[in-house]
Amino acid sequence: MELKKMFKLSAVSAALSATLLLAGCGGDINIDTGSQEPTNPTNPTNPTTPTETDQQLAYGGFAEKSTTIAAIDGKEVWVLTGTLAPSTAASTVKVGGQDGANIILGNDVVWMLDGAVIAGGDKADSVELSIMAGTKIIGGSESYLVISRDSKIMAEGTADAPIVFTSLEAALGQTGEAGQWGGLVVLGNAPVNSCPDLTSCDAAFEVGNHNYGGDNTEDNSGVIQYVRVEFGGFKINDTQEMNGISFAAVGAGTTVDHIQIHKNNDDGVEFWGGNVSLSHVVLTENFDDSLDWTNGWQGSAQHVYIRQEDNGSNRGIEGDSNSSADAEPQSMPTLANFTIQVANGTNSGGDDAEGILLRKGTAVNAYNMLVKGDVDSGECLEINDDNTVDTAEAGNLNMQNSLIDCVEPFKSAKVDADKGYTKAYDVEAWFMAQEGNLAGAADLSGYMPNSSSVALTGGAADLANMDDRLDDAQYIGAFNGSTDWTEGWTTAIHADVAPAPTELPVLTSCPVGTTSEDVVAGLYKDDSVTLVCSIEGNITTNTTLLAGQNVMYKVDGGAVIVGGDNADSATLAIQAGTQLFATDNSYIAISRGSKIIAQGSAEHPIVMTSQQDVIAGAEGERGQWGGLVILGNGETNKCPDKDNCDVSFEVGDFPYGGNDNADNSGQISYVVVKYAGFKVNDTQEMNGISFAAVGSGTQVDHIQVHANGDDGVEFWGGAVNLKYVYLTDNFDDSLDWTNGWQGKAQYVYITHEDGQANRGIEGDSHKGTDDTPISNPTISNVTILPGADIENASGDKGEGIILRVATRASIHNLLIQGRKGATSETESGECLELDGTYAGLVTNVNDETLVMSHSVIDCNEPFKYSSDNTDTTDAVDTQAWFLAQTGNSAQEVTLTNGMPAGTDTVLLGTGLDMSTTDTFFESTDYIGAFDGQTDWREGWAFIK
């Protein structure tokens, strides 16, 4: 009985094969083939009476010892089948056992489900099924566990000893896959809106026709804590599938926390009505919806982490009430502190990976929700159908203090005569009109917010007073940035499954929005390239450049412009590992209101380079193409009226600027830009990456600009922030700001090529006394290695940093190490210069709005003050100003490729911890870009 449903092949041979495979790697599984010869009694004339084991005494009344699998994990396997009912026999409880209506599954054995195992009858012959911490329960292809109405499950695991429901295959050491068994079904007596009369409600569960529903909102179905359910969700047909855990009319008296559903073949958890609440929930790589509710669920869920699987999942949340608007109770859960990582692509059912769908008249009160989409994700927040629009307009569909970070953030309800929808609804307007909501960069490492993430400070306060089922958690998302509550009891999200870097696929055609070009054999240095896809002109629809090991993208025809100026907005999404090259006169410009989502990774950075760099027989050199231009709606002091601002970018006359310093232009992570910066004339030159009034909603980290014909990166106003910036061999200034930049930067490493560079940093603000805002960036952990004091082609020499044109700044943990020598050809120029030509800079020095602390200058020509203004001649002693500030010194240091030795005492342990005053900054105690141990460039940066 137990094996005929669980083994598709010969049961014994398959099990034996698994055992033999595992024997070579220490597996602990024993298979009883049933072919052993019986053992004769030692004394045939006086046979002894067999003694029952503790397990036989404890479990023999309601289970059977397996006759085919003797042991798993060194423990006997005991089989549960049919209905578990009360017993009138004496208690058999040892580790586990039965005492009347109490059945205890002990952790001294492994439990196997055979078919549908049902705890109790429907509101009759009720039992309390207890499962001890550390217990493993396995199921075969048609097995699942049901807790009937009026019965209870007491599954009380711990972080150190979680209760694990898994598949027979996984228990035998084979590959665990979705759909290998059923799942856990809990049936309660709480309200469900599929019953017109709740006092006489017998709704039928979709698998097995088990009854649920009633009028008891406080019904108690037991406790489920520290429980993991994996590889479940077998499919009966297209409409009948098992969820990881199904909560059917389960009441508020039930306790559910610290549960994980991993790789289920339908939904992770689903609610049909009821009032049960959950907390600390992990839903990973489930096929359909990770969390699904319908038919009047009015419970709560808090601290929920959802991670979807690329090309293997549908929605993070699907929320319904009832097709009839009159059905009561209406679904109205309270949700708080969710992190949803939306996958790429579609699952095998043809469903797109999406974030949250609210439909069929559901209500909801949601707080501190974080939805992070990937470059090929579907919509992240959608409202659908007339009943749900009515609910929103009535004020019963609410989401506050939440963050959407997606390529396709919103999808509005639309009129659709075929579906009977008569009402349209602007979801973006609905979301943005509510308190504390943001559409911008989440700034995560994995699922954890970085110290600079707005998620840590943007959450709703006082949640417990708004809903007593919630804990106070004043941050957006499931995690507070320091405590990882998933550790110790979950699977597949920590070191137990650290995956190797994914190999890029081979593409057979160019993606939509690009044009295929003929590939001539031998044309490219990389002979694996068989597909070249070009982009050109104005891109006004969302376009994704798909990564592939055989594909490159050609930027051609001059300016490739994404979107119109605050109109016809579009997103250019670029997958990790994508390679782009550009023709001589070409560059990419992201218009105001549009976005670039360039999400590379350490394993698969995105590379943007010149055509010469990829063509056989040619070489990459600075100035061979344009670069990347980001145009934002942030503030710039070039505009007196920030509400009516249209500054022209210096190449192409594209407009930028506005009144929104929190503007979101997307994400640039793990991106390398090489050989850009063509020159139009002496005043019009392209930078590697130009940030024109770009707002702080944009995420920029792990970028490199190499051998650019003008500046590496330049900022014209705005408030964009950066981390992990590597600027190498750029011709003019490596990092340049002007016109009111108020952003932040941490971990910046700048190196020069001798005779081909000017300054490491050039900081300006404004020339007019009334120009606002004043440039005032905050910068920490910078290493600058300026080139030799030799003129480049423009007559500029290699220098460290100049602050001028009335700029303010707060600079800390700065290291400048110049070349040491006896002549200009062997030493660097001045390493720290203040230019008081515009008197505002002198004012900023005197009122301490221009500050520099915990920094080291190691140069032959360490300091310089200059001024072309007779009123400010010799107004500042740069050396005295520098040395008077806390932690500053001029002394020698020793570096190897920019890194101090681990034993260094000048740089290490002497820095300022900026995280104590600004959460953008990570905690450091060292001066310079490196801590002496970790080279954050490794794996993704271009190093000659």
Residue 10 has pLDDT above 60, yes or no: no
Coil/strand/helix, residue 186: strand
SS3 readout for 116-150: EEEECECCECCCEEEECCCCEEEECCCCEEEECCC
Coil/strand/helix, residue 6: coil
**Cis omega before residue 499 (within 30°)?**
no
Among 405, 292, 397, residue whose Cα is nearest residue 340 = 405
Token code pair at residue 7:
């083994």
| Residue that is written with structure tokens 């009633």 in the block | 214
| Residue that is written with structure tokens 């002394």 in the block | 891
pLDDT of res. 605: 97
Q: How far apart are CA 873 and CA 716, in angstroms?
A: 28
Of the listed ranges 497-506, 609-618, 746-755, 870-879, the least confidently predicted one is 497-506
Q: How confident is the model at residue 239 (pLDDT cuts 50, 70, 90)?
A: low
Higher pLDDT, 100 or 944: 100
Token code pair at residue 321:
């009430």
Higher pLDDT, 843 or 499: 843
Q: What is the mean pLDDT of residues 181-189?
A: 97
Burial (CB < 10 A; 0-12, 13-18, 19+), residue 601, is: middle
Q: How far apart are CA 830 and CA 787, in angstroms?
A: 11
Rg (CA), the chain: 33
Beta-bridge mates of residue 615: 524
pLDDT of res. 683: 73
Torsion, CA 935, CA 936, CA 939, CA 940, rounded to 10 = -140
pLDDT of res. 715: 98
Burial of 414-438, coded b for 16+ CB within 10 Å and e otherwise, reads eeeeeeebebebebeebbeeeebbb
Residue 253 has pLDDT above 60, yes or no: yes
Residue 340 has pLDDT above 90, yes or no: yes
Among 764, 758, 860, 882, residue whose Cα is nearest residue 812 = 882
pLDDT of res. 498: 45
Q: How confident is the model at residue 500 (pLDDT cuts 50, 70, 90)?
A: low
Predicted TM-score (pTM) of the model is 0.81
- Which DSSP string corresponds to 155-172? EE--SSS-EEEEEHHHHT
Q: How far apart are CA 513 and CA 524, in angstroms?
A: 23
Q: How far apart are CA 701 and CA 96, in angstroms?
A: 54
| Residue that is written with structure tokens 């406790």 in the block | 223
Q: What is the mean pLDDT of residues 169-174?
A: 92
Residue 538 has pLDDT above 60, yes or no: yes
Residue 27 has pLDDT above 80, yes or no: no
Token code pair at residue 32:
């009883």
Q: How far apart are CA 676 and CA 499, in angstroms?
A: 35
State the pairing for strand pair 655-656/606-610.
unpaired
Enumerate the H helices of 722-869 as residue ranges.
840-846
Q: How far apart are CA 87 and CA 98, in angstroms?
A: 8
Coil/strand/helix, residue 75: strand
Q: How confident is the model at residue 41 (pLDDT cuts 50, 70, 90)?
A: very low
- Which DSSP string corresponds to 226-241? EEEEES---BSSSS-B
- Amino acid symbol at 79: V
pLDDT tens track for 764-790: 999 998 999 999 999 999 999 999 999
pLDDT of res. 194: 97
Coil/strand/helix, residue 355: strand
Q: How far apart are CA 670 and CA 58, in angstroms?
A: 59
State the pairing for strand pair 647-648/655-656.
antiparallel
pLDDT of res. 236: 73
pLDDT of res. 1: 35
Count CA atoms within 13 Å of residue 510 on its CB side.
Answer: 19
Q: How far apart are CA 623 and CA 502, in angstroms?
A: 33
State the pairing for strand pair 895-896/899-900.
antiparallel
pLDDT of res. 24: 34
Q: How far apart are CA 523 and CA 731, in angstroms?
A: 29
pLDDT tens track for 115-164: 999 999 999 999 999 999 999 999 988 899 999 999 999 999 999 999 99
Enumerate the H helices of 732-849 as residue ranges.
840-846
Q: How far apart are CA 83 and CA 100, in angstroms?
A: 15
Q: What is the mean pLDDT of residues 556-560?
A: 96
pLDDT exceeding 70 applies to what percent of the chain?
Answer: 94
- The residues, ordered by sequence, that sit 6+ positions from 326 with a Cβ below 8 Å of its Cβ are none
- Residues 542 and 571 sit within 8 Å (Cβ to Cβ): yes
Q: How confident is the model at residue 17 (pLDDT cuts 50, 70, 90)?
A: very low
Q: What are phi and psi of 495, to 5 degrees?
A: -65, -10
- The residues, ordered by sequence, that sit 6+ positions from 483 with a Cβ below 8 Å of its Cβ are none
- Amino acid symbol at 167: S
Q: What is the mean pLDDT of residues 385-399?
A: 97
- Residues 245 and 184 sit within 8 Å (Cβ to Cβ): yes
- Amino acid symbol at 308: Q
pLDDT exceeding 90 applies to what percent of the chain?
Answer: 87
Higher pLDDT, 92 or 22: 92
Among 236, 99, 211, 78, residue whose Cα is nearest residue 146 = 211
pLDDT tens track for 288-326: 999 999 999 999 999 999 999 999 999 999 999 999 999
Please give the C-alpha separations between residue 509 and each of 23, 172, 351, 532, 580, in angstroms, as whole numbers.
46, 41, 22, 9, 16
Residue 40 has pLDDT above 60, yes or no: no
Query: Beta-carbon neighbour count of residue 324 at 10 Å?
Result: 12
pLDDT of res. 421: 95
Q: Which long-range contacts (CB under 8 A, 24 or more apart) does 616-621 make?
A: 616/522, 616/523, 616/524, 616/525, 620/674, 620/675, 620/707, 621/675, 621/707
Residue 32 has pLDDT above 50, yes or no: no
Q: How far apart are CA 861 and CA 789, in angstroms?
A: 10
Q: How far apart are CA 349 and CA 311, in angstroms?
A: 10
- The overall average pLDDT reported for the chain is 92
pLDDT of res. 2: 38
pLDDT tens track for 592-601: 999 999 999 9
**Enclosing H/E stretch for 72:** strand 69-72
Q: How far apart are CA 837 and CA 825, in angstroms?
A: 28
Residue 641 has pLDDT above 60, yes or no: yes
